[in-house]
Structure 1
Amino acid sequence: MYKRERKEESLLIVEEEFTKLVHFCAQMTKNKDVAEDLAQETILIAINNISTLREPERQQAWLFGIARNVCLRWLSAHGRDNAHLVQPHSLYLSEETAHSSPEESVADEQDVELVLERKELIELLDRALALLPSQTRTVLIQRYVQDSPLAEIAAELGTNASAVAMRLQRGKLTLRRILTQEMREEMALYTPDTTSADWEITPLWCYNCGRQRFLGQRDPVEGKLLLKCPLCSPDPNEVLNRNYLPVLKGIRGYKPLYSRLAVWCNHYYRSGLETGSAPCIRCGRVISAFIQTPENFPAWMRNTKDMRMWMRHPDDRYIAIACEQCASASVTSLEALILESPVGQQFLQAHTRIRILPSQPLEYHGRATLLTRFESISSTATLEVISDYETYETL
């Protein structure tokens, strides 16, 4: 009889928390439209599993733990759904999108990366909160996650608002110490100096070797994004990926930056290869797009500082869009272009640590082609793409 009464009382408390759950889900997902549905799902899961609650005094923490997991699952699914929405049926842009500007083509993909990065930060914060004393953690969650008034928290704890305010202050200081000291390296991946002239560790893994995280420099005012791998480009003056683009302005996170860059590159280089020309990124002149080995690049290109990396692989053929008038050149590899396609980005989202395998020439339906391969470092997953040898068209 007692157990049944306790269960009914618990179910009533769960239902009374619905308004707070809606607010919590809205804060977690940044989407008010789905918050009520997620809160309802939380309530349903809680009701079906109320018998597993061993400590009734921790019911609120248990309930919001369920809500957190529900929101994280939604965030993950939301990211995947958005990725599918921006994918055309081929590896490159549809005819309709090809006539739009790169700036108009990147918003959805950037949103996906912002969602995923926010999910990672939520998980990191959750781990930091777990290191706090139980009462301190509860007070912080009630105040800053559930947005409960100080008086309400004080009443629940049987104390006064001043004591709660003091506990909140101490809790914030302890949480800051954990994040800035014990979790300093992990936090540095998400909160580096955005205008630093020094190289900083990024959350992105090198896709060439899969063994090191990229080092990066960025400036959201200039639209600057530089990436290099300590193993693949050890020369201090060598940069694997150098970009100063208007489309990157205002973006701070490395993952959203790379996501936006990928969509822009897919549009820019694919359009250039299809039409044989593209606008210079510096002066806007329409210039030729071509595929060549570095030794066959124009002489003025071979003398630029970024060419030393390409010249180390004299037999590889790169995509180049070069403007002699302003001495500006955009160069990329077939492997990078495939990774910047929607299918490549989907593979990278599912497998953050990958490496490029040696490409293989082969004959496909009577055509000379190249087989480009990528493999996951942490699983057996692979991505294989066949491209026409002459045009790099995906087959």
Structure 2
Amino acid sequence: MTAPHPLPDHDDLWSSAQRARVVRLCVAVVGPAAAEDVAQEALLEAWRQRHKLVDASGADAWLRAIARNVCRRHLRSAGADRTTATENVPDRRHDDDDPLEREEVVDLLDRALGRLPEATRTALVGHYVEELSHAEIAGRLGTSADAVSMRITRGRRQLQHLLEGEGWSEESGWRHTRLSCADCGRPAIEMRHDESEVAFRCRWCDGGELSSRLDLRAPTYADLVGHLQRPTAIQSRLTDWTRTYWTSDERHCVRCGAGVSKQRYDKEAGPWEKATGWLAHCDGCGEAVSSSVSGLVLSLSEVREARRREPRLRSLPVRDVVRDGQPAKVVALGDSDGTPRVAVVVREHDLRILHVDTPT
């Protein structure tokens, strides 16, 4: 590949850290020999398209997306003269029940580059980025197609462990997870877990603010999730507890254990599903627990199953309806084109779930 012209001297759009991350991503995808040229081409393309970046907080993800596209073009160009003798060799994939999507795997490779064995990295890049058959990857590595299948499976699990285990952390304790945001549908949820709290936020939607926080000094929360590390396990346990807590006839303070009653809260700002929900305040110790209507909807088994099948589902605008002669709201999640995949009818005056619809 011919090296592109360098970026203009006056360009200070990207920080040195951002440039370094682009180079690391290119190393993971195209290899060290071509990485510098490909990274420079990606940065130049980003500079030319800088007017399209309307939210500076999303610059890292935007840069990575451009870099991945440039890497793909390079790989297609480099592989144009590759023989097709093995194209018809059937793949033997050992995908698990919750496979990572290709875009996510490339991001994981970028973040975990220095922690994976070279052969594992080659197998994952060949499988997820270059879309090679296992036989083609085996030819590169000098091994069998079955060995490549197993290496891909194990490598994927290693990547999951690196981002979800105790050994991977980001600045200020935040680390990326595979959890998808119910608001935007992106796999952009970050988690912070230390001795005092478990907190979540979406790096796209929340603007650095918390979307939820569990104070582990409260015994209920400590017993519930304090010993867990995997974000998926924490989310599952918390969702189960949320559903049970707000539908039970009796509930107790999460800190002192005293009996508490729930009351409806309404905020003046924000969309309906965010501004309305249940609040339980303890008169003894002052602890307060709340859940928005959207949180209650997300705890439903039908909604959880829909999100498990389609992790990229996102919240759709709330609709006003009349059910049984009374005002109600429809809280729905849908795909990127706005098609509802699961819709929940909630009665306005008492927030009771009236119906759950899962259109086919």
TM (norm. structure 1) is 0.49
The alpha-carbon deviation at position 140 of structure 1 amounts to 10
1:369 matched to 2:328? The reply is yes
Match of 2:306 in 1: 347
Report the CA distance between 1:346 and its aligned residue: 0.7
Residue in structure 2 matched with residue 229 of structure 1 by the alignment: 202
| Greater Cα radius of gyration, structure 1 or 2 | 1
Structure 2 residue aligned with 1:99: none
Count of equivalent residues: 235
- Give the drift of 1:233: 2.1
Residue identity matched to 1:286: G
Residue in 1 aligned with 2:143? 138
Match status 1:356 vs 2:315:
yes
C-alpha displacement of 1:205 = 2.2
Q: Could you tell me whether the CA contact under 8 Å between 2:228 and 2:234 is conserved in 1?
A: yes
Paired residues of 1:194 and 1:218 also in contact (CA < 8 A): no
The reply to whether residue 250 of structure 1 matches residue 247 of structure 2 is no
Q: Which protein is richer in helix relative to its size? A: 1
1:216-365 equivalences in 2 (<5 Å): 216-219=191-194, 224-234=197-207, 236=208, 238-243=209-214, 244=216, 245=221, 246-271=223-248, 275=249, 277-294=250-267, 316-365=275-324
Alpha-carbon distance between aligned partners in 2 of 1:198 and 1:179, rounded to the nearest angstrom: 22
* 2:237 aligned partner, one-letter code: R
SS of alignment partner, residue 138 of structure 1: coil
Partner of 2:124: 127
Distance (Å, rounded) in 1 between the aligned partners of 2:283 and 2:205: 29
Paired residues for 1:9-158 under 5 Å: 65-66=91-92, 68=93, 72=95, 75-76=96-97, 116=98, 119-120=99-100, 127-128=124-125, 130=127, 134=139, 136=141, 138=143
Task: Report SS of the residue matched to 2:143.
Answer: helix
8 Å contact 2:293–2:351 — kept in the other structure? yes
Task: Output the CA distance in 1 between the equivalents of 2:291 and 2:188.
Answer: 20
Question: Is 1:204 the equivalent of 2:209?
Answer: no
* Cα 1:179/1:330, change in 2 over 3 Å: closer
Whole-angstrom CA distance in 2 between matches of 1:348 and 1:204: 10
Q: Which amino acid aligns with 1:340?
A: S
Contact 2:169 2:175 survives alignment (8 Å): no
Amino acid at match of 1:386: V
State whether residues 164 and 229 of structure 2, in contact with CA within 8 Å, keep that contact through their aligned partners in structure 1.
Answer: no
**Cα deviation digits, residues 190-228 of structure 1 (max 9, x gap):** 457467642222212221123561222124x66x43111
2:199 touches 2:212 (CA, 8 Å); kept in 1? yes
Instruction: Tell me whether 1:215 sits opposite 2:190 in the alignment.
Output: yes
Q: 1:284 to 1:359 in 2, by over 3 A?
A: same
Residue ranges of structure 1 left out of the alignment (5+ in a row): 1-53, 56-61, 77-115, 147-174, 296-310
* TM-aligned CA distance change 1:200 to 1:366, over 3 Å: same
Displacement of 1:137 after TM fit?
A: 6.0
Q: 1:145 to 1:351 in 2, by over 3 A?
A: closer
Greater relative CO, 1 or 2 (CA 8 Å, sep 6+): 1
Q: 1:217 is paired with a residue of what secondary structure?
A: strand
Indicate conservation of the 8 Å contact 2:277/2:351, yes or no. no
| Structure 1 residue 389, shift from structure 2 partner | 1.6
What is the identity percentage for the equivalent residue pairs of Structure 1 and Structure 2? 18
Structure 1 residue 256: Cα displacement: 2.3
